Every structure is written in structure tokens, then in C-alpha cells.
């Protein structure tokens, strides 16, 4: 299906006979950096050739496809493809094989420029266009409330609420030629007619003459009666007096070299069997996050969603902070407190789909009108069959205004530092990734299946947010591995800063469920972790909320299962199962962090091996909150072993804080021995050694390195404070020896010019740093707690 709404270019496709599969790729379809991570880019030898026919167009002409039609005036003056500009797009320098799809990139680049030029022409630019929340919805203007709502499908409209006894006969709205209804409600005796925190709704007559009540699309707060089962939500007019408005006290922290992200759900963040609040999270959980040396918090389920068990992904009210956890002012308190702790705050933003809830959500504005007059596509294109939700019409003018303004609203009103875009794969393709595997063949990304309208929106969105907040961080949840997704818009990319490395947790779950760790392949682990596109950054994670949703388990629970209920006391010796579980929990998370990307993410509680799974209150579990909370007492109880996993999580984050290995482009895997079950690699200036063997201790084990000198332990998972056995000496100097002939890698040891020998116990990971003879690095590390320091006599000593 043709995916653009522009009538400038129509793609014609011819299939090349070079269609052999690429091998060695995960389902992310990305390019393997290779064992030596030298920055070379392996690209496929097969593609589909694109040919775009440039068609003459005129004002008013429409492309007769099942596509969206923008509400802006059709204007061919914006068809501004410049051949030289396309030839010089930066993405072709990064990946020359993309030139084979130059016509595709030319089409979408022109689509982006065309839309941006139209916005500049008719709205005064992207900056003004994205301030829609200052015009639509309820706003104060010169002694009155002005309410505007885009509802072209409505025949008549009123505003109703507590303020007029839900009788809108005296508050009729007027409609302009663009389908925007509006009303001015003057103040009465200097006071707002609609009181702050009072309920309001938009009442309109649909095309069948039926009056319906809906929550305003741009409402900033929505509440529900908690005492009434399945009660409908109400829109709430939110305009607190100055004395009740939260005033931000702290500046936004600067963008870190690499994000170490703590993914959290406010509602389930407490220990008690209930929904937790924004202020409780700020006061009780943020200090834990800071103590574990994360620099970024990612908040789920902030946008209002009537169904709690949707995890916040079936959004009903896009401009409203979820009222389950408090008011908008309470959320501002949370963000500001995080900033005061030096933590940046990202928000899960869901622009890939919307709840199909008619009563409470945006879907209620769809009353059978055409796609040009709706937020959503019509027919099958407007419905996601797996998610049971509605799909946006990204080619529609007012949809663009709504979504772009939504991003700006959260950035400016709540001071969020960026976003994690949910469901990006679904946006990028007409098939939404349903029953589709991605092998890495470039034809999978650039074809009729590509939704160019959605890509155009994402380019505009990333362009906008990087202008509004230059230090913004934007992460894409994409499993397909689309090339150029994480390259700047100015280069012809989609503009994200990072992509979630979604294949990594799937690989760990597969290994944990289907193979004994004795049978794990070191090369498969390395390939899964290093399998990403050069120059496009990834956020790696071993597990997130997805891996623990009802029906599955956390990594720790997969490793130790029911023995976690009885075997976690440190007052008695650990069983072999617990020993193995804690050791592998640490190793899995750390190797994922160290080798898997340029950022790292951990879901709330997994840092200390939270047991069991996540299950929101629902009829099937008798509306229980037992699995919808975090049991902080497990890690706070000194005689329980959870503290060891938490301490190691804190230490590995601090290691990156001091050595910045995540942001380093130097990533070299020198050895992945299947016989030894050992992985050795360099990241930045550090040497990482992971021994996955269940039994073998290697004394005098030779590891390759780049620079000569003296190396010492920086971090050791086997240290006593991490629940280990203290077998590695931390006061031992490891002196390098040259390997082979200088300048001839083939004569080196594992292609490294130097080496040193170490002790490597089973199921441990040890990191070594090169001693700077001019600085007291060791003392500094001991003071900071990165290196455990002198513990007890060890085997190596």
C-alpha cells in the first residue's frame, strides 16, 4: 500500500534478483560490529531497487489511494526536492549502501520538507504550530476562558460541567471552516465562571443527530470516582491559583555522556497493596535510584489511561497526568525533586496508537466521519488488531498539531528531559511488525510497507524537541532495526538519539528457559550484544517490565524460582541453586551493560533481583495488588541476600560514572572461548573478563590488551560485598608483556599487542583498569567504592 499523502511522487518498485539472506543477525536486523569492533560496517549485498516516478501535480489534485489527505491547502510550491541536497545527505556517508535506496530517501525527505514548509506558510513555523495547547482546550485570555475543540464531525456543540449544572443550552459553541468549535466564557465579577478543579465535558451532536458527551481532547486532568466500579472518567478544568501552583526550584541536569536509565512505574512503586503517588515516589524511590548511581529516570504510565492494567500504553487523555497517583502539581514535584538529585527524567510517550475507549478517550471523537476529519484512519488501517486500539492518521494537519503540541507540553509544563517513544516499529510499517521477522535485508525497511507519513511525523517530532530542549534525550522502542532511525534529521535520518536493544532481553529469556548455562555459546552471547548498527546508539537491557508481565518471570526468578522464598537468608550457607542464581544475575546484567550498547536500562526492582512477576489488579486475580508493587523490604533487610545484587548494581553504575566506558567507541572483543566459557573484551580503557564456566577456575589466564603497563582490579563480582567468595586479590599488580611483532596483529595474542595474566574463578566477572602512575587511581577507586578494596585473603594472594 502506498503510504504517503503527498501527490508529488509515486514510488514504483522493481525487484532485484539478488535476494540471498544475510546471516548472523538477530531479529533486530542490525549490523554486527564483529569480534574486534573496529568500526567497520558490514552491509547486505542484496537490495530492492527503488524507482520513483515524478508526476506533475496541481493544486486541488488528490492521490486516489487509501491514504490520508492533509487538512492544509494543497500547495505544490512546497515540492522542493533538490538533487544535490539528496546526494549530500549525511546518512549516505555513514552507510554508503543506503544510496541504493536514494529515491526512497528523496521521497521521504521531500515529504518532511513539504510538510514543514506548509506549516511555516500557514502556521508561522513549527515553533508556533507546536504551541497548540495554548490555543486548544481551556485557556485563559483577557478576562475569560476560551475553549476550542477540533471536531469537524460534530453538527452542534456545547460545553457542559459542574459550572452550568451540565446544561449546555447557554454555552453553545461556534464552528469555523476548519472544523474547530470555540466559545468565550467571560469572567463573572472578576472570577472564572468555571472553577478550578471542577468537572467539564464537550457535548456534541453527531451526524445521526445523537448528542454525546466526551472528555475534551486537550484536557489537562481527568478523574474518576474510585468508589464506583467501571465509572466513566470526567474531564477536570485545571487552573490552580498561584498559591497552589508548583514552582520549579532546580535546573534541569545536563545531558550525560551515556544514559543509565532506571525504568519505573509510579503506581506500583510502593510496598503497600495500593496505587502509589507521585510524591511518595519522589520522596521514597528517587533517593534509591540516586544511591545506585543511575543518572536518568524513565517514567511509565504518566499519560492518563482508564485501564490500569494496560501499563499506561492505552492512553485515553494525552495531555493529562494520570490522576491515580496525584495531581499535575504533584507530578511537577516529582520531576523537580529528581532534578534536585541530579537525575534526568524521561517520559514514556505513546503516539503509536490510542485507546479504543469511546467514553473516556480520543476515540470518542470518531463518530463515523472521514479520515480527513478524524484523529484516526478509517477501516482496517485505523485499527491495531493485536493491541485492540486506534491508529493515528499522521498525514492529518490537526493530528500533527495535536501530537507535536503534546510533546512540547510535557517538555515545557513539566520539565521532562526527553521521551521514550513506545511502539515505534508499529508506526514505521503498514504491517506494524505483526507476524513479520526482520533479517536485516534493507528491502524490509524501504518498500511499500514503509509508512512515510509516520516517518515524516517522527522527523518533525525529533526536529521539534531537539530545538525546544537542545539537551533532550529521545529513545525509540523499535525491534526492526531500521537503518538511519537514530541519525539526525539534518542527515536524512529519523532523528532519535537511541534505540532500545530489544533483541537482547529476548535472547536472555531464550537462554534461561531453553538451555543450561553449561551449553551457552559465548559467540552467540557476543553476537547478540554487539549486533547493532555502527554510529546508531542503543540502550541495552537484560530485562524490563516486558519480561516480567504476568505469565513470565524476572531473570532472578527464572534462575532461582521458588527457592527465593526460602533460600535467601544470609544466616545460613547458600544452596548451589542460589549461588548460581546470584552469580549469573550479576553477570547477565553486567555483560549486557558493558557490551550491549551506549546506554543501559534497568526496570525498578530488578537491580536487587526482585522475585516473581508483574500482574495488575484484574478480575482474573480477584483485583489483587500483590504482584503490582515492589517489595523494598527484601533489599533493606540486612540478613537477606538481595542486598548483594543491589550492591553490585550500584558498583557497576559507578564504574561507568568514573570510566565512561559506555560512551567509548572503543569496543574490542578479543576472545570468546567456547571451550573455556570465557569472554574477554575491551570497552574504553577497561578490560572485562567474564567466566561463564560453572566449575573451572583459571589460574594464570592470559588476557590480551591494547596498552602496556600495570593493571589492577576495578570491579569484581566475586567480592564478598557482592555475595561472592573473595577469590580474586584486589591488591595485585598485573604487568603486561608484549605479544608478537609490533604493527603485525596476526602475530599478536588474540590480535592484541600486549597481555597480562589473571585468576578467573567460575561464574565471575572482573574488570581491570590500567594504572596511571601519576595519579592515585587506586585510592580514588577505593574511596568511591567502585573497587571493593582490601577484603580478606584470597587464593591469588
Q: Are 303 and 422 in contact (CB under 8 A)?
A: no
Average pLDDT for the chain: 88
**Hey, what domains does the chain have and what are their CATH numbers?**
137-216 (2.60.40.10), 666-784 (2.60.40.1180)
Instruction: Grade residue 746 by pLDDT with cuts at 50, 70 and 90.
Output: confident
> How much is the average pLDDT of 334-339?
98
Query: End-to-end distance of the chain based on CA atoms, in angstroms?
Result: 68
Q: Are 478 and 440 in contact (CB under 8 A)?
A: no
pLDDT of 57 higher than 60: no
- pLDDT at residue 87, rounded to an integer: 84
Catalytic residue among 103, 348, 366, 477: 477
Q: Where are the beta strands (DSSP E) in 640-738?
A: 667-673, 678-683, 686-691, 698-705, 710-716, 734-735, 737-738
DSSP 564: G
pLDDT digits (tens, 9 = 90+) for 150-161: 999 999 999 999
pLDDT of 45 > 60? The answer is no
Predicted confidence at residue 250, as pLDDT, reads: 98
pLDDT of residue 330: 98
Does the pLDDT value for residue 779 go beyond 50? yes
Strands (E), 113-190: 137-140, 144-150, 156-161, 174-175, 180-186
What was the pLDDT predicted at 490? 96
Residues linked to residue 383 through DSSP beta bridges, in sequence order: 390
C-alpha pair distances (Å), 374 with each of 3, 394, 398, 564: 18, 11, 9, 52
More confident residue, 73 or 353: 353
Q: Would you state the pLDDT for residue 786?
A: 54
| Structure-model confidence comparison of residues 361 and 619, the more confident one | 361
Share of the chain above pLDDT 90, in %: 80
- Please pick, among 422, 478, 497, 615, the residue that the annotation labels catalytic: 422
Calculate mean pLDDT across residues 560-582: 97
The three three-digit cell numbers of residue 347, written as one number: 517520559
Grid coordinates representing 291?
544511591
The pLDDT of residue 521 is 98
Per-residue confidence at 226, pLDDT binned at 50, 70, 90?
Answer: confident
The pLDDT value recorded for residue 20 is 28
**Separation of alpha carbons 669 and 652, rounded Å:** 19
Q: What is the pLDDT of residues 644-660, one digit of tens each?
A: 999 999 999 999 999 99
Please give the C-alpha separations between residue 601 and each of 132, 259, 462, 552, in angstroms, as whole numbers.
33, 8, 21, 19
Q: How confident is the model at residue 780 (pLDDT cuts 50, 70, 90)?
A: low
pLDDT tens digit sequence for 238-273: 999 999 999 999 999 999 999 999 999 999 999 999
- What is the structure's pLDDT at 71? 38
Give residue 78's pLDDT: 47
Cα separation, 277 vs 270, in Å, equals 8
Which pLDDT belongs to residue 16? 28
Q: Specify whether 257 is catalytic.
A: no
pLDDT tens per residue across span 291-326: 999 999 999 999 999 999 998 999 999 999 999 999
Average pLDDT estimate for 140-147: 95
pLDDT at 90: 94
Task: Answer yes or no: 422 catalytic.
Answer: yes
Q: Of the ranges 28-32, 84-88, 584-588, which one carries the lowest mean pLDDT score? A: 28-32
pLDDT at 218: 98
pLDDT at residue 660 in the model: 98
CB 38 within 8 A of CB 47: no
The pLDDT value recorded for residue 544 is 85
pLDDT in tens, 401-448: 999 999 999 999 999 999 999 999 999 999 999 999 999 999 999 999
pLDDT at 107 over 60: yes
Asked if residues 672 and 529 have their Cβ atoms less than 8 Å apart, the reply is: no
Cell 521514550 belongs to which residue? 420
Residue 548: its pLDDT value, please?
77
Residue 394, SS3 per DSSP: coil
How many Å apart are CA 576 and CA 554, to the nearest integer? 19
Distances (CA, A) of 632 to 17, 265, 271, 590, 602: 58, 14, 6, 22, 16
| Torsion sign over Cα 375, 412, 461, 397 | positive
Amino acid at each position: 500500500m502506498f503510504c504517503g499523502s503527498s501527490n508529488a511522487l509515486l514510488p514504483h518498485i522493481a525487484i532485484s534478483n539478488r535476494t540471498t539472506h544475510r546471516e548472523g543477525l538477530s531479529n533486530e536486523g542490525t549490523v554486527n560490529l564483529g569480534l574486534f569492533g573496529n568500526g567497520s560496517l558490514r552491509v547486505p549485498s542484496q537490495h530492492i531497487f527503488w524507482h520513483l516516478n515524478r508526476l506533475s501535480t496541481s493544486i486541488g489534485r488528490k492521490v486516489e489511494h487509501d491514504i490520508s489527505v492533509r487538512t492544509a491547502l494543497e500547495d505544490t510550491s512546497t515540492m522542493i526536492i533538490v538533487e544535490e541536497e539528496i546526494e549530500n545527505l549525511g546518512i549516505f556517508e555513514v552507510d554508503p549502501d543506503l544510496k541504493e535506496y536514494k529515491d526512497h530517501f528523496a521521497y521521504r525527505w521531500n515529504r518532511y520538507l513539504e510538510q514543514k514548509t506548509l506549516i511555516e506558510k500557514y502556521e508561522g513555523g513549527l515553533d508556533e504550530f507546536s504551541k497548540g495547547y495554548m490555543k486548544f482546550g481551556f485557556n485563559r485570555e483577557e478576562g475569560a476562558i476560551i475553549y476550542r475543540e477540533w471536531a469537524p464531525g460534530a453538527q452542534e456543540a456545547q460545553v457542559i460541567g459542574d459550572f452550568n449544572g451540565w446544561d449546555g443550552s447557554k454555552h453553545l459553541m461556534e464552528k469555523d471552516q476548519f472544523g474547530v468549535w470555540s466559545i468565550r466564557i467571560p469572567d463573572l465579577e472578576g472570577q472564572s465562571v468555571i472553577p478550578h478543579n471542577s468537572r467539564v465535558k464537550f457535548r456534541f451532536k453527531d451526524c445521526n443527530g445523537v448528542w454525546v458527551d466526551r472528555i475534551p481532547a486537550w484536557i489537562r486532568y481527568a478523574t474518576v470516582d474510585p468508589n464506583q466500579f467501571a465509572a466513566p472518567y470526567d474531564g477536570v478544568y485545571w487552573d490552580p491559583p498561584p498559591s497552589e501552583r508548583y514552582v520549579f526550584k532546580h535546573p534541569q541536569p545536563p545531558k550525560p555522556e551515556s544514559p543509565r536509565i532506571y525504568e519505573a512505574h509510579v503506581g506500583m512503586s510502593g510496598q503497600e497493596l495500593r496505587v502509589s503517588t507521585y510524591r511518595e515516589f519522589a520522596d521514597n524511590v528517587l533517593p534509591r535510584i540516586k544511591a545506585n548511581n543511575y543518572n536518568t529516570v524513565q517514567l511509565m504510565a504518566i499519560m492518563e489511561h482508564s485501564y490500569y492494567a494496560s501499563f499506561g500504553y492505552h492512553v485515553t487523555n494525552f495531555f493529562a497526568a494520570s490522576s491515580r497517583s496525584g495531581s499535575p502539581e504533584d507530578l511537577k514535584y516529582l520531576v523537580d525533586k529528581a532534578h534536585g538529585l541530579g537525575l534526568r527524567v524521561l517520559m514514556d510517550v505513546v503516539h503509536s496508537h490510542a485507546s479504543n475507549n469511546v467514553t473516556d478517550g480520543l476515540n470518542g471523537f470518531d463518530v463515523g466521519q472521514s479520515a480527513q476529519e478524524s484523529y484516526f484512519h478509517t477501516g482496517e488501517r485505523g485499527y491495531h488488531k493485536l493491541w485492540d486500539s486506534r491508529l493515528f492518521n499522521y498525514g492529518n494537519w490537526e493530528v500533527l498539531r495535536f501530537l507535536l503540541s503534546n510533546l512540547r507540553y510535557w517538555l515545557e509544563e513539566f520539565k521532562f528531559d526527553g521521551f521514550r517513544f513506545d511502539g515505534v516499529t508499529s508506526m514505521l510499517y503498514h504491517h506494524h511488525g505483526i507476524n513479520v521477522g526482520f533479517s536485516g535485508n534493507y528491502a524490509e525497511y524501504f518498500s511499500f510497507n514503509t509508512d512515510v507519513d509516520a516517518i515524516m511525523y517522527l522527523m518533525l517530532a525529533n526536529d521539534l524537541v531537539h530545538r525546544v530542549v537542545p539537551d533532550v534525550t529521545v529513545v525509540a522502542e523499535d525491534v526492526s532495526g531500521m537503518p538511519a532511525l537514530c541519525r539526525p534529521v539534518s542527515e536524512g535520518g529519523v532523528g532519535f538519539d537511541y534505540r532500545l536493544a530489544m533483541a537482547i532481553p529476548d535472547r536472555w529469556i531464550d537462554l534461561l528457559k531453553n538451555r543450561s548455562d553449561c551449553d551457552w555459546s559465548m559467540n552467540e552471547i557476543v553476537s547478540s550484544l554487539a549486533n547493532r548498527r555502527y554510529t546508531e546508539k542503543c540502550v541495552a537491557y537484560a530485562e524490563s517490565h516486558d519480561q516480567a508481565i504476568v505469565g513470565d518471570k524476572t531473570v532472578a526468578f527464572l534462575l532461582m524460582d521458588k527457592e527465593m522464598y526460602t533460600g535467601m537468608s544470609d544466616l545460613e550457607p547458600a544452596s548451589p541453586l542460589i549461588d548460581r542464581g546470584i552469580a549469573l544475575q550479576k553477570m547477565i546484567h553486567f555483560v549486557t551493560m558493558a557490551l550491549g550498547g551506549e546506554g543501559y536500562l534497568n526496570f525498578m526492582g530488578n537491580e536487587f533481583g526482585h522475585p516473581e512477576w508483574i500482574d495488575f489488579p484484574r478480575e482474573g486475580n480477584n483485583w489483587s495488588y500483590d504482584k503490582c508493587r515492589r517489595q523494598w523490604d527484601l533489599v533493606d533487610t540486612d540478613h537477606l541476600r538481595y542486598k548483594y545484587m543491589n550492591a553490585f548494581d550500584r558498583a557497576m553504575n559507578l564504574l561507568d560514572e568514573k570510566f565512561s566506558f559506555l560512551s567509548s567507541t572503543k569496543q574490542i572483543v578479543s576472545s570468546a572461548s567456547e571451550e573455556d566459557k570465557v569472554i574477554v573484551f575491551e570497552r574504553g580503557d577497561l578490560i572485562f573478563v567474564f567466566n561463564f564456566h560453572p566449575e573451572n577456575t583459571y589460574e594464570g589466564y592470559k588476557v590480551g590488551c591494547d596498552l602496556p603497563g600495570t593493571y589492577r582490579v576495578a570491579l569484581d563480582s566475586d567480592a564478598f560485598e557482592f555475595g561472592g567468595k573473595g577469590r580474586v586479590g584486589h591488591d595485585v599488580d598485573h604487568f603486561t608483556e608484549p605479544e608478537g611483532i609490533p604493527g603485525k596483529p596476526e602475530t599478536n595474542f588474540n590480535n592484541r599487542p600486549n597481555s597480562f595474566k589473571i585468576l578467573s574463578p567460575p561464574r565471575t566477572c572482573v574488570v581491570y583498569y590500567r594504572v596511571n602512575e601519576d595519579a592515585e587511581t587506586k585510592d580514588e577507586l577505593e574511596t568511591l567504592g567502585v573497587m571493593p578494596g582490601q577484603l580478606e585473603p584470597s587464593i591469588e594472594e
